[in-house]
Amino acid sequence: MTRGFSLIEILISLTLLTTTLIAISLLVLGAPDVVANAVLHREAGYIAQQGFLKEMARGPEGFIDITSYEGTNNVFNTAVLVETVGDGSARHVQSQVSWNTVWDIPQTLVMDGYVTDYMHADQYACSPFLRRHAVSEPALKPFTTFPLPHIASLAANRAHVVVSASSTAGFSDPALLVFDTKNSTETPLTFDTATSTKIGYGAVAVHGDYIYALSAHTCPVGIPCAALDVLLLQGTEIVRVHSLPLPPTRSITYAHGYLFVGLRASSMDPEFRVFSLENPELPVQVGSAEIGSTVNDIVSNGSTVYVATADNSIAGDRAVMAFPLSSLNSSMQASMRARPPGAGIAQTLALSGEVLYIGRSAPLNSKELYLLSATNLREELSSRDIDSSVYGIVVQGMQAYVLTRTHLEHWDVKNARYIARHSSYTLPQGTTGGTVACGGSGLFVAANDSSGGHVLRLGL
Tens of pLDDT, residue by residue over 431-443, are: 999 999 988 778 8
Edge-to-edge strand order for the sheet containing 226-234? 201-207, 210-215, 226-234, 237-246
Which whole-number Å values give the CA distances from 331 to 6, 105, 262, 314, 323, in the listed order?
A: 92, 51, 15, 23, 11
User: Which of 278, 253, 262, 256 minimizes the C-alpha distance to 318?
Assistant: 262
Per-residue confidence (pLDDT) for residue 286, from 0 to 100: 96
Domain range summary for the chain, segments of one domain joined by +: 7-59+67-116, 123-459
Residue pLDDT, tens place only, 256-288 = 899 999 999 888 889 999 999 999 999 999 999
State residue 158's pLDDT score.
80
- pLDDT at residue number 130: 47
Across the range 44-48, mean pLDDT stands at 81
Locate the DSSP E strands across 264-354: 272-276, 284-289, 295-300, 304-309, 320-324, 336-338, 346-352
Rounded Cα distance between 344 and 332, Å, is 26
Q: Which helix (H) or strand (E) holds 40?
A: helix 31-56
The 8 Å CB, 24+ separation contacts for 223-231 are 224/269, 228/252, 228/261, 228/283, 229/193, 229/201, 230/280, 230/281, 230/282, 230/283, 231/176, 231/191
* Mean pLDDT, the chain, integer: 83
Question: Does the pLDDT value for residue 122 go beyond 60?
Answer: no
Backbone angles phi, psi at 318, to 5 degrees: -140, 25
pLDDT tens by residue, 52-102: 878 777 766 677 778 888 888 888 899 888 877 655 667 778 888 898 887
Count CB atoms within 10 A of the CB of residue 279.
Answer: 10
The CA distances from residue 459 to 87, 139, 251, in Å, are 18, 7, 27
Bridge partners, 146 (sequence order)? none
Q: Give the number of other CB atoms < 10 A from CB of residue 4.
A: 6
Q: How many angstroms separate the CA atoms of 268 and 292, rounded?
A: 10
Better-scored residue on pLDDT, 22 or 244? 244
Residue 172 CA from chain centroid, whole number: 37
pLDDT tens for each residue of 215-240: 877 655 555 567 899 999 988 888 99
Query: CB neighbours of 72 closer than 8 A, spacing ≥ 6?
Result: 78
Looking at residue 132, its pLDDT comes to 42
Amino acid at 336: M
Distinct helix (H) and strand (E) counts, the chain: 2, 32
Which residues, 6+ apart, have CB-to-CB distance to 382 below 8 Å? Answer: 370, 371, 416, 417, 418, 419
Phi-psi group of 445: left, alpha or beta (phi > 0 → left; psi -120 to 50 → alpha; rest → beta): beta
Neighbour tally for 460: CB within 10 Å = 19
Give the pLDDT of residue 185. 67
Residue type, 108: T
Q: How far apart are CA 224 and CA 236, in angstroms?
A: 32
Domain 123-459 in CATH 2.130.10.10: yes
- DSSP class of 147: -
pTM for the predicted model, two decimal places: 0.76
Question: How many other CB atoms are there within 10 angstroms of residue 274's CB atom?
Answer: 23
| Residue 196 in this model has a pLDDT that exceeds 70 | no
Under DSSP, the state recorded for 121 is G
Per-residue pLDDT tens over the stretch 294-353: 999 999 988 999 999 999 888 888 999 999 999 899 999 999 999 998 889 999 999 988
